[in-house]
Amino acid sequence: MRRDVWGLQADDPWDPITEAYARAVAVMQARPITDPTSWSYQAAIHATFAAAPPGAVWNDCQHGSWYFLSWHRMYLYYFERIVRAAVQSIGGPADFAIPYWNYDQPFPNNTLPQPFREPTLPDGSPNPLFLPPPSRRDSIANGAQLPPAATSSSAAMATTNFIGPPGPGFGGGVLPPTHFAGSAGALEQTPHNVIHVLVGGNPSGQCQGGLMVDPRCAALDPIFWLHHANIDRLWNRWLALDNGSANPDETAWLDQSFTFRDETGAAVTLTGAQIVDSAEQLHYVYDDQPPAQDMAVSMNGTFPTPREPAEPPEMVAATEQTVDLVGDARSIQLTVPPSTVSLLASDDVRTGARALYLNVEDIEAEQNPGVVYVVFLNMASDDPGADRARHHVGNVTLFGIEQMNDPDAAHPGVPGLRHTFDVTRVVGELNESRPVGPERHHRDLRTHHADAATRPGGSHGRRRGNGCRRTRADRPRQPLRVLRDHW
């Protein structure tokens, strides 16, 4: 059973499970990189700067596609077996399982777990879970709280499709690109990518800076595995919802196999179909696994988005130009052509029967600037008292963007990141407070504006967001705001 790490340390940061993990990490770190059960070899399976030795499957991590969840579940599963073997070799708990970090909880759970902040173990020996600066963002390393907008999985939980685009999907876009572009799923975007960036801090080549922020270094940070255990847990929770959530039934997803190493160092292979049921097939559960009905009641019927859209989303508004984010406040204006105004004013839109999506597309950057961009709709930049949660559309990160620029990378990524948000609820709530008649639409459309604010960042923080475009019907008057936040 995988347990909540904050639950383990209720009385003492050094629960036997957490301490066993720390000691097993030390054992694995002492092994040479040629050993498949070593710390560095395992991290290299995810991604690394080093060239893979013959026979090794390195740089294999799947991001930005529908394989994200399945690949990381397999990865974590074999890693856990390796750690458990190491734990047992040093006399630790026989039922060891990787704990998870559920940061989407009030203080102190939304801070880095205590054992990752202690330089030493209880016996005074060095603590491998602790990383000296600059391997983690200073504020987080010192116990700063993660904001709810960063840790919340509610947007992901509200999706009803596994696959997206078109529209937001829980698990990501289909590759090979029959839909022209792959895309990260909602859970991968937030909280997964956001936590990577916030915990990681500033990237630096060859893993000399923040580890979590760069896929080639991320798995070297012991918190990585607790983060991914949480993501894996959230996948199970989503499936337990009674909102139509289900895994893909396409054979391309079910039969796709990936290769890892087990605790003996032997190469092992799993397919999607072999890992969909973690309890039955992989023999682990989470300590909070809910009865399916509990969740069903709270979620059922809340989101009217149809599972299979009958017709493709229809573009109703888009930006005129590319947006460069270089550290200054920016306004992003959406143009609503006259021909789509009537669609925006339709009852289907007013009642939420038609979903409204907002895409931030063709995002390009040379490397991840290590910041999170927060997108708001219709929030005036000069209003410090604005209720940010009310206007919050979602978060944009550039996690892993470096490797999308490399045609030789093993990643099946498609250049140009894309984020799709379901803005039905946000737009609906904003409209309730400001009902408008159709005649007024036209005028407002031409004057409505959007704001983007960013804070100064590194020279690499250049983000080219091509289109902040809303597909599907949408109400006008919702300026878009992108804020590069300083969490």
Binds other proteins (CB under 8 A): choice among 46, 392, 411, 481: 411
Q: Tell me how far CA of residue 208 lies from CA of 131, 138, 214, in angstroms.
A: 12, 14, 11
Which one, 32 or 407, has the nearer CB to other proteins?
407
Binds other proteins (CB under 8 A): choice among 124, 407, 435, 456: 407
Confirm or reject binding of residue 408 to other proteins (CB under 8 A).
yes
Q: Rounded to an integer, what distance in angstroms lies between the CA atom of residue 410 and that of residue 66?
A: 16
Confirm or reject binding of residue 315 to other proteins (CB under 8 A).
yes
Structure tokens at 167: 């529209």
Burial 456-486 (b: 16+ CB within 10 A, else e): ebeebbbbebbbbbbbbbbbbbbbbbbbbbe
Three-state secondary-structure class, residue 265? coil
Binds other proteins (CB under 8 A): choice among 23, 228, 441, 469: 469
In sequence order, what are the residues at sequence separation of 6 or more whose Cβ sits closer than 8 angstroms to the Cβ of residue 336? 316, 317, 344, 445, 474, 476
Which one, 152 or 319, has the nearer CB to other proteins?
319
Residues in 343-372 at the binding interface with other proteins, rule: CB under 8 A: 361-362
Which one, 188 or 361, has the nearer CB to other proteins?
361
* Least distance from other proteins to the Cβ atom of residue 179, Å: 8
Confirm or reject binding of residue 175 to other proteins (CB under 8 A).
yes
Query: Which range touches other proteins (CB under 8 A), out of 80-88, 112-120, 273-281, 409-417?
Result: 409-417
| Phi, psi for residue 91 in degrees, rounded to 5 | 80, 25
* Least distance from other proteins to the Cβ atom of residue 403, Å: 11
| Phi, psi for residue 157 in degrees, rounded to 5 | -65, -25
Confirm or reject binding of residue 212 to other proteins (CB under 8 A).
no
Among residues 61, 7, 36, the alpha carbon closest in space to that of 228 is found at: 61
Which one, 85 or 252, has the nearer CB to other proteins?
252
Handedness of CA 33, 36, 40, 43 (dihedral sign): positive
Confirm or reject binding of residue 31 to other proteins (CB under 8 A).
no
Please say whether the beta carbons of 428 and 326 come within 8 A. Answer: no
Confirm or reject binding of residue 412 to other proteins (CB under 8 A).
yes
* Least distance from other proteins to the Cβ atom of residue 2, Å: 30
Confirm or reject binding of residue 51 to other proteins (CB under 8 A).
no
Query: Which range touches other proteins (CB under 8 A), out of 35-43, 68-76, 264-272, 334-342?
Result: 334-342
Query: Which range touches other proteins (CB under 8 A), out of 9-17, 230-238, 410-418, 476-484?
Result: 410-418
Compute the residue count for the chain: 487
**Backbone φ/ψ region at 206: left (φ over 0), alpha (ψ -120 to 50), beta:** left
Confirm or reject binding of residue 316 to other proteins (CB under 8 A).
yes
Question: Where does this chain bind other proteins (CB under 8 A)?
Answer: 166, 175-178, 180-181, 310-322, 335-337, 339-340, 361-362, 407-408, 410-416, 466-467, 469, 471
